[in-house]
Amino acid sequence: MVGVHGHPEAANLVYLCLYALQHRGQESAGICSMRGGKPLVHRAMGLVSDIFSEPTIRRLAGRHAIGHVRYSTSGGSLLQNAQPFCANTDAGPVALAHNGNLVNARGLRRELESSGAIFSTTSDSEVLMHLLARSREKNLEERLVDALSRARGAFSLVMLTRDALVAARDPHGFRPLVLGRLDGSWLVSSETCALDLIGAEVERHLDPGEMVVARRGRVLSLRPFPKPAREAFCIFEYIYFARPDSNLEGGNVYYFRKELGRLLAREHPAQADMVVPLLDSGSPAALGYSEEIGIPFETAIIRNHFVGRTFIEPAQSIRDFGVKIKHNAIPEVIKGRRVVLVDDSIVRGTTLLKISKMMRAAGAREVHVRISAPPTVSPCHYGIDMPTRSELIASSRSVREIREAIQVDSLGYLSLEGLRNLAASLKHGHCDACFSNDYPVPISAPNSPQLALFRSVNEPATDGETP
């Protein structure tokens, strides 16, 4: 997500920032600008580079704009679910872009529908639009507070009104959101790498539960939500999701990953001839591992960068295809050697099984795997796309069984304790539910009939994981 307030090239800047945030969503993208009190919007399926052309950006005139890249964690991969959402309310025009998952969206939607609301998407974010439109508060900022007070779970969002840019983070602070400045204009972005690209300065990260309103060149900060029992910044942003050149509120992502690799080497040393990263996600941890243990680092597997991240495509057939064409080993480097492969996580185990076979075929003498995070045992309900519990290989198998399934000589995961010790140095408390099953916000019963509303035909059913 990105937002720009008060810049003559607002839509153009949003477009550039979305380029830098493309890793956060590759299914669809959209930009909405506000001109003369009228929202102008362009949304489409696909990558940012395919969706926007110069004439399209020119049409999105105005000094204020917001943008969004999406992958589906709730609601299907459909154009109607592409954001930003725009609407006209009796308090004026509004556009909204949301990152995160609302855990009570189903209940809210049922309630809204029973009082006559008609939904045009299957996305949980549309619930917020309806709450905004129905709120009895007088202006859109107050309406947003009203709407968000009813929402549970993860939301970092940006909202555009006739004259203001509003940004808010949920009180647990699950997803990142940063405030920046450029030439006297204000920006908000999910990650700092987007601000870097356009030469904007990072002003500061929004606090959990903070809302900022940029209007007529000034920014007002509010704390409209009650403080929860704990903060819960997503640790997986550090481990995998955010770009390594971004700084999250606790520090630089690259360094954090490298430190995970060092810890991993101390916990699970290996006797080998080289440390090989699974590009790109495993690189910083592999470097940390190699430095700590004193075994050379070799990029002996090359990645084709023109294939999207396997996981982001929701259809199983595409996912398998992606893994097959994504990596290629260099036999000249591997033949007769003992290799330690380092990656950030194992989800289904598909990638590593294919890579281990590829390494053997390339002549590796031994193949060891080290993972710079604990076993992924529970799905995320707060905005990271993950399969259901039964599809997570570590939810039902021991480390030994996983090692056998992926056919490697040894396997070591970072301990939860090690991760938590490192995370203790971060500025805010974190969420590690995917590794610990400890969910900071309770999840509503997943097997209710209402679930069907949020599932399009190509989405898998959940297996009833109530923490």
Binding site for ligand AMP (CB under 6 A): 240, 278, 281, 309, 311-312, 343-351, 384-386
Of 465, 463, 446, residue with least CA distance to 103: 446
Least Cβ distance, residue 207 to ligand AMP (angstroms): 26
CA 164 – CA 167 distance, rounded (Å): 10
Least Cβ distance, residue 342 to ligand AMP (angstroms): 10
Q: Dig out the tokens for 147 from the structure.
A: 């709407």
Outline where 115-233 has alpha helix (H).
Answer: 125-134, 140-150, 192-197
When the beta carbons of 186 and 311 are compared against ligand AMP, the nearer one is 311
Q: Dig out the tokens for 4 from the structure.
A: 């720009």
Give the end-to-end CA distance of the chain in Å, rounded to a whole number: 29
Least Cβ distance, residue 241 to ligand AMP (angstroms): 7
Helix, strand or coil for residue 396? helix
Chain centre distance of CA 336: 39
CB 201 within 8 A of CB 187: no
When the beta carbons of 221 and 316 are compared against ligand AMP, the nearer one is 316
When the beta carbons of 85 and 240 are compared against ligand AMP, the nearer one is 240
When the beta carbons of 102 and 342 are compared against ligand AMP, the nearer one is 342
Cis peptide before 273 (omega within 30 of 0): no
Cis peptide before 84 (omega within 30 of 0): yes
Least Cβ distance, residue 264 to ligand AMP (angstroms): 15
When the beta carbons of 173 and 379 are compared against ligand AMP, the nearer one is 379
User: CB nearest ligand AMP: which residue?
Assistant: 311
Structure-derived torsion over alpha carbons of residues 272, 294, 373, 364, reported in degrees to the nearest 10: -20
Least Cβ distance, residue 309 to ligand AMP (angstroms): 5
Across the strands, what pairs with 277?
A: 342
Chain centre distance of CA 140: 27
When the beta carbons of 191 and 343 are compared against ligand AMP, the nearer one is 343
When the beta carbons of 15 and 382 are compared against ligand AMP, the nearer one is 382
Least Cβ distance, residue 285 to ligand AMP (angstroms): 10
Q: What are the backbone angles phi and psi of residue 168, rounded to the nearest 5°?
A: -145, 150
Of 282, 267, 389, 256, residue with least CA distance to 339: 282
H/E element holding 93?
A: strand 92-99
H/E element holding 256?
A: helix 253-267
CB 133 within 8 A of CB 87: yes
Residue 241 DSSP label? I
When the beta carbons of 344 and 465 are compared against ligand AMP, the nearer one is 344
When the beta carbons of 197 and 405 are compared against ligand AMP, the nearer one is 405
Least Cβ distance, residue 369 to ligand AMP (angstroms): 11
Least Cβ distance, residue 455 to ligand AMP (angstroms): 18
Least Cβ distance, residue 127 to ligand AMP (angstroms): 23
